[in-house]
Amino acid sequence: MGAGHAHRLYRHGHSPVHALPPHTKIAAVLAFVVVVVSTPREAMVAFAGYAALLALVAYAARVPPGFLLRRLLIEVPFVAFAVLLPFVAQGERVDVLGLSLSVDGLWGAWNVLAKGTLGVAASVLLAATTELREVLLGLQRLRLPPLLVQIASFMVRYGDVVTDEMRRMRIARESRGFEARGVRHWGVLAKSAGALFIRSYERGERVHLAMVSRGYAGAMPVIDEVTASRAQWCRALALPSAALVVCLLGWTL
């Protein structure tokens, strides 16, 4: 995880979307998702409109479609759930290719699929154009409770360290002839997990000591003040505003 994780999601670039301050992008994505979710599921055209808007953003951010589509795979478990809906839902049924499907279920599946995909695509675009570090700064700027931001940033910083520790423990286990095969070995794995927890906990105490030694008194000092001009806010909010227009058209038409 950590920076390695950031590298996988983030796509380095200098597009206008990359250049926007992180908190404006977070706010834009959030607003966009709210608009998408509040669109009635029957307004098919509106969803096509949203997809077109995201495609425009991706184009502006120079994120290639292949990259975006591959990242969308994270959605697969939800898709599986959506595919089940037409089979299990109650109510009026239609026959499609010899299968009896619930109309309500079909609409439900479409609803989950369309809104989910749009939401994930917007988030993928955010992650592809904003470094993890910047996302944290943006959240801090948006007044997310500082404790949550601190927890998230420690996750980013120490993910690698803990993974490494886990790897070392695995190597130590295997060096002494242990191989996890079957239920009988779960006990050993559980003890390793417990040891890892205690090690991480103790590291947490040492880190806290180091922080206190450098003047930490409960709040992270602001090192990078992220600011956004009115123009930047306008550019970022163009996405949800356009989406809102599409949504209203969807409601009225």
Comparing CB distances to another protein, the nearer of 120 and 132 is 132
Nearest CB to another protein, comparing residues 42 and 224: 224
Nearest alpha carbon to residue 63 among 120, 7, 129, 8: 129
Which string of x and - marks every residue 120-159 that binds another protein (by CB under 8 A)? ------------xx--x----------------xx-xxx-
Asked if residues 156 and 2 have their Cβ atoms less than 8 Å apart, the reply is yes
DSSP letter at 95 equals E
How many residues sit close enough to another protein to count as binding (CB under 8 A)?
29
Binding mask 2-41 for another protein (x = CB under 8 A): xx--------------------------------------
**Of 222-241, which residues contact another protein (CB under 8 A)?**
222-225
Pure H helices in the chain: 2-9, 16-19, 22-37, 44-60, 65-72, 76-88, 103-129, 132-141, 146-175, 186-213, 230-252
Measured from the CB atom, the residue of 175 and 213 that comes closer to another protein is 213
Going by C-alpha positions, the residue among 132, 141, 130 that lies closest to residue 18 is 130
Listed in sequence order, the residues at least 6 apart from 40 whose beta carbon sits closer than 8 Å to its beta carbon are 250, 251
- In whole angstroms, how large is the CA radius of gyration of the chain? 23
Stretch touching another protein by CB under 8 A, among 15-23, 27-35, 205-213, 237-245: 205-213
Cβ distance to another protein smaller for residue 76 or 223: 223
Binding flag, residue 198, another protein (CB under 8 A): no
Q: Which residues bind another protein (CB under 8 A)?
A: 2-3, 132-133, 136, 153-154, 156-158, 160-161, 203, 206-207, 209-217, 221-225
